[in-house]
């Protein structure tokens, strides 16, 4: 008997569900026990050696941690808890997964109180008179929703839900258990029959026909100034090496969407940085002059395209080619001359193989293209900002980011929150590794950075994990520091403290309301929670505190006093104005 099969007689449903989780190779479950989900948590207590259950102080943290688990592993992250509170509290992570195509499993229940469901019992989500409707509610935010009424159905739905979360374009799948399903047992004689979880297997990533690759490579080969736009799909497909290889073989510049920041090292000679509304002038200028634009793993949001400014992307004067795993995404924003439907890693591998065959035929072209990229970077000052060295006090965000860049490891994970601090990080922080930059670019939700950093540190304990958030975002997720202490997750949290919701303050200007607040003394709060906490007011203090925090082995918070002088308006591209 193995964890993946059901060959013996009378296994409890919670035990069988946990075997399915284990069979899919899931190493962590995030949540808050409650309602009938406690039956599954009870079964998890017998699997401590193979599945680590991370208890958080609020479901919002669990939702984000599950989303980041899916983003970094390609396997569905699991958030678990009572239905009403998963719905009301965990949706930041669920919506990030929904809009960002991250595989995720929401495992919950409906607190049905059977057989009294029709009498509107406390907390029930059955959809009966006086209750809330769990299937409809979760269905509105999920890729697919399963409702299990019977024991065997609970197991099969769990097996199928994992697979659906990973098929094609990923996303959150909600799995709701009726109390009658969780109370029962299953065995090998049941019908419908139960099969070992490994027989369901992970769906194979799709590729595309060779003739399609040939047509695209001809367009790239004949282009004067091609460019690759890389989105979050590169991260989801783990196509970092394939992207780099194709760019180097063809001498093609690589820009990223804000959601794709970090999928291509921004210190690479072919890197152009993030483009779009808050993008680098280098990236916007180069894309605007490109004749062939290869878009990989991006839906192209209005912010990416500077609200469809034709000076940036224009299908009337540019040859647009799009690669996406979801057919509806390709050609959704702009008409494309060619679309390739399939897994980004598979298709980029096919294109890289085709580029290798061209060999010397591309050598002169590659040299010219590299020279053009270098010239554009020099002209527009690629990651060359005078504010990086500013001694102004309170410190400018650029100076804080410069100090962070100088001391962290190349493979460090850096997670961002929402608001101006994320815009500043997207604009001024230069990534050096691949896949280490995490931000809620699909939703722009506050409270993301701390749980994201914790998940990265759990998955890759040998790598540094730094959460960068504003004081507003920190106040929404500060209970994550308790989890960091209790679960021994030594992250470093950098709070950019300007005593305000910066974006709101700068957007409303003299009409600002409910946007500024007293200094919250974040370092003191962190110390009270059992973390190291340090107040930082100068660049020298920041350098020393960062170095000490990264060398330490416990959760540490740096409360960095920052200026409000710089606003989102200062980094808004001219393409997005007017």
Q: Is the pLDDT of residue 306 over 60?
A: yes
Cβ burial of 493 (10 Å; 0-12, 13-18, 19+) is: buried
Same domain, 188 and 275: no
Output the domain CATH number for residue 375: 3.40.50.1220
**In whole angstroms, what is the distance from residue 47 CA to residue 51 CA?**
6
Adjacent-strand bridge partners of 497: 561
Does 139 reside within a domain? yes
Which pLDDT does position 39 carry in this prediction?
Answer: 95
Residues 317-358 pLDDT 10s? 999 999 999 999 988 999 999 999 999 999 999 999 999 998
Same domain, 375 and 391: no
Which pLDDT does position 187 carry in this prediction?
Answer: 81
Q: Is the pLDDT of residue 10 over 90?
A: no
pLDDT tier at 5, thresholds 50, 70, 90: low
Q: Which tokens hold the place of 320?
A: 């647009």
Q: Is the pLDDT of residue 578 over 80?
A: no
Does 3 reside within a domain? no
Q: What is the mean pLDDT of residues 210-230?
A: 94
**In whole angstroms, what is the distance from residue 276 CA to residue 303 CA?**
6
Same domain, 325 and 419: no
Same domain, 254 and 168: no
Which pLDDT does position 201 carry in this prediction?
Answer: 66
Q: Is the pLDDT of residue 547 over 90?
A: yes
- Whether the CB-CB separation of 451 and 460 falls below 8 Å is answered with no
Q: Is the pLDDT of residue 216 over 80?
A: yes
Give the Cβ contact number of residue 151 at 10 Å.
23
pLDDT tier at 122, thresholds 50, 70, 90: confident
Output the domain CATH number for residue 72: 3.40.50.970
Does 127 reside within a domain? yes
SS3 413: strand
Same domain, 428 and 366: no
pLDDT tier at 536, thresholds 50, 70, 90: very high
Same domain, 358 and 401: no
Same domain, 396 and 542: yes
Question: Mean pLDDT for the chain?
Answer: 93
437: domain range?
386-574
pLDDT tier at 210, thresholds 50, 70, 90: confident
Which pLDDT does position 1 carry in this prediction?
Answer: 35
Same domain, 561 and 414: yes
Instruction: Show which of 334, 363, 380 is a domain's final residue.
Output: 380
Q: Is the pLDDT of residue 429 over 50?
A: yes
Which pLDDT does position 274 carry in this prediction?
Answer: 98
Residues 237-263 pLDDT 10s? 999 999 999 999 999 999 999 999 999
276: alpha, beta or left? (left if phi > 0; alpha if psi -120 to 50) = left
Which pLDDT does position 215 carry in this prediction?
Answer: 93
Does 6 reside within a domain? no
Tally of domains in the chain: 3
Does 2 reside within a domain? no
Does 1 reside within a domain? no
Instruction: Show which of 326, 359, 380 is a domain's final residue.
Output: 380
**In whole angstroms, what is the distance from residue 366 CA to residue 84 CA?**
57
Q: Is the pLDDT of residue 211 over 90?
A: no
Residues 126-151 pLDDT 10s? 998 889 999 999 999 999 999 999 99
**In whole angstroms, what is the distance from residue 2 CA to residue 15 CA?**
12
Same domain, 247 and 172: no
Same domain, 362 and 476: no
Q: Kindly give, in sequence order, each residue whose CB lies less than 8 Å from that of residue 347, ignoring residues fewer than 6 positions away.
A: 207, 208, 213, 323, 340
DSSP state of 80: E
Q: Give CA separation, 342 vs 97, 236, 299, 338, 542, in Å.
A: 20, 13, 14, 13, 45
Same domain, 238 and 371: yes
């Amino acid at each position: 008997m193995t964890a993946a099969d059901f060959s013996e007689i009378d296994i409890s449903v919670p035990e069988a569900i946990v075997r399915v989780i284990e069979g899919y190779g899931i190493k962590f479950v995030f949540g808050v026990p409650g309602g009938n989900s406690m039956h599954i948590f009870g079964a998890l207590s017998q699997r401590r050696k193979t599945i680590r259950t991370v208890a958080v102080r609020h479901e919002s943290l669990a939702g984000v941690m599950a989303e980041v688990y899916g983003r970094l592993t390609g396997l569905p992250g699991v958030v678990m808890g009572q239905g009403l509170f998963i719905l009301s509290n965990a949706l930041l992570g669920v919506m990030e997964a929904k809009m960002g195509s991250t595989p995720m499993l929401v495992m919950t229940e409906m607190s049905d109180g059977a057989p009294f469901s029709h009498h509107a019992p406390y907390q029930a989500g059955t959809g009966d008179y006086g209750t809330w409707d769990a299937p409809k509610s979760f269905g509105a935010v999920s890729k697919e929703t399963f409702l299990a009424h019977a024991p065997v159905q609970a197991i099969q739905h769990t097996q199928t839900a994992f697979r659906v979360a990973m098929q094609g374009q990923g996303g959150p799948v909600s799995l709701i258990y009726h109390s009658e399903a969780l109370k029962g047992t299953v065995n090998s004689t049941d019908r419908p029959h139960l099969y070992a979880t490994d027989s369901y297997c992970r769906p194979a990533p799709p590729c595309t026909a060779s003739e399609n690759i040939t047509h695209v490579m001809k367009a790239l080969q004949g282009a004067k100034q091609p460019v690759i736009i890389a989105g979050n799909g590169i991260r989801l497909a783990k196509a970092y090496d394939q992207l780099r290889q194709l760019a180097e073989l063809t001498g093609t510049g690589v820009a990223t969407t804000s959601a794709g920041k970090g999928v291509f090292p921004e210190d690479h000679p072919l890197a152009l940085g993030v483009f779009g509304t808050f993008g680098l002038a280098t990236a916007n200028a180069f894309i605007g002059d490109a004749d062939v634009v290869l878009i990989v793993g991006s839906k192209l949001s209005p912010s990416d395209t500077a609200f469809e400014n034709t000076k940036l992307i224009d299908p009337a004067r540019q040859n647009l080619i799009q690669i996406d795993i979801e057919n509806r995404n390709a050609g959704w924003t702009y008409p494309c001359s060619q679309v390739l439907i399939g897994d980004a890693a598979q298709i980029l591998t096919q294109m890289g193989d085709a580029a290798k065959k061209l060999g010397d035929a591309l050598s002169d072209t590659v040299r010219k293209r590299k020279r053009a990229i270098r010239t554009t970077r020099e002209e527009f000052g690629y990651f060359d900002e005078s504010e990086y060295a500013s001694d102004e006090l309170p410190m400018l965000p650029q100076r804080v980011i410069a100090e962070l860049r100088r001391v962290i490891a190349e493979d460090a994970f850096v997670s961002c929150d929402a608001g101006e601090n994320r815009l500043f990080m997207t604009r001024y922080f230069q990534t050096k590794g691949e896949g280490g930059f995490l931000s809620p670019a699909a939703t722009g939700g506050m409270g993301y950075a701390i749980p994201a950093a914790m998940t990265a540190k759990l998955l890759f304990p040998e790598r540094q994990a730094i959460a960068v958030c504003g004081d507003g975002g920190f106040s929404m997720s500060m209970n994550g520091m308790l989890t960091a202490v209790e679960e021994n997750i030594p992250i470093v949290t950098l709070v950019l403290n300007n005593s305000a919701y910066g974006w709101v303050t700068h957007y409303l200007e003299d009409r600002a309301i409910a946007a500024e607040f007293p200094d919250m003394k974040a370092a003191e709060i962190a110390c009270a929670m059992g973390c190291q906490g340090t107040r930082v007011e100068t660049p020298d203090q920041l350098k020393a505190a960062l170095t000490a925090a990264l060398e330490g082995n416990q959760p540490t918070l740096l409360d960095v006093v920052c200026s409000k002088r710089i606003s989102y308006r200062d980094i808004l591209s001219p393409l997005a104005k007017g």
